[in-house]
Amino acid sequence: MLGKLGRWLGQWLEPRRARRAAVGAEQWARVEAGLPFLAFLDAAERRRLRELALRFLAQKQFHGAHGLRLTDDMLLAIALQACLPVLNIGLEAYRGWVGVVVYPGDFVIPRQEVDDAGVLHEYDDEVLGEAWEGGPVLLSWFADEDQPTGVNVVIHEFAHKLDMENGGVDGLPRLRAGMSRRAWADAFSAAYDEFCADVDSGAEPVIDPYGAEDPGEFFAVTSEAFFETPGALRGRFPAVYEQLAQFYGLNPAAGERGQAQASG
């Protein structure tokens, strides 16, 4: 059973004071300390993200797979990361589905594929997460010491959910008002070709090589990097960074630079 947060879920429409009381300042601080990439947010953005995370928890149904017990801290951490990409887009982008399934580490999904000769192949695919169109989001949860380096499964899978808003998973989400489809396509197409060439050559890429799988994965991986390592992404693919900054309505690299100057 979940603790007080679990008992509170579904009641976020109560007065704001009661909603905030569900999670104390100490718990927020503890959970956010494990998400250092949130540091670029100012105080007002941090408050809005917390409110959005509580609304998200109230709207979605969480399930722990393979006996995983979901704690309140785990729920808050997942919700904060899931809501970061839609902080300036809105939870409406996640409408139409309710399930979030969390596995203890990576997990296996049975696959079936038919090759060009019409032969059916069945295999087990070991994954860290998966987003289903119109269905749930599947996530892996790792202890801190087991967390894969440079990977943010939550942001990755919820970027796929945003991609699906526009139909399919092709790296072209529903763009915000005023954005140019041509500018987006030009930036991402050129960067994807360069990135695939980097991966093929054996060069050390600045983002997860999994992004070379297809344009949809490239969008999800660059979204991870946009929040986790924004300076590196902007340095290697500035046009992609600019498009993502417009899409998400955020500029993490500016905050990252400010933090470095403050600690210097």
Residue-range domain boundaries for the chain: 166-264
Q: Which residues pair with 200 in a beta bridge?
A: none
Query: In terms of Cα–Cα distance, which of 251, 195, 244, 249 is closest to 218?
Result: 195
Query: Quick check: 87 and 52 in contact, CB under 8 A?
Result: yes
- Provide the sign of the torsion angle of the four alpha carbons 234, 45, 56, 29, taken in this order: positive
The DSSP bridge partners found for residue 109 are 125
What does the pLDDT read at residue 11?
A: 45
Q: How far apart are CA 208 and CA 48, in angstroms?
A: 29
* Residue 62: CB atoms within 10 Å: 20
What pLDDT sits at residue 22? 77
pLDDT at 167: 84
Q: Mean pLDDT for each 10-residue chunk of the chain (264 residues)?
A: 50 42 88 95 97 96 93 96 98 95 73 63 61 89 66 94 92 96 98 96 91 96 96 97 98 71 46
pLDDT (0 to 100) of residue 147: 62
Q: What is the DSSP string of 53-73?
A: HHHHHHHSEEEESTTPPPPHH
Closest CA to 129 of 120, 117, 142: 142
pLDDT at 132: 82
Cβ–Cβ under 8 Å, residues 236 and 206: yes
Tell me the angle at which helices 153-164 and 72-83 cross, rounded to the nearest 10 degrees.
Answer: 50
**Looking at the domain covering 166-264, what would its CATH class be?**
alpha beta
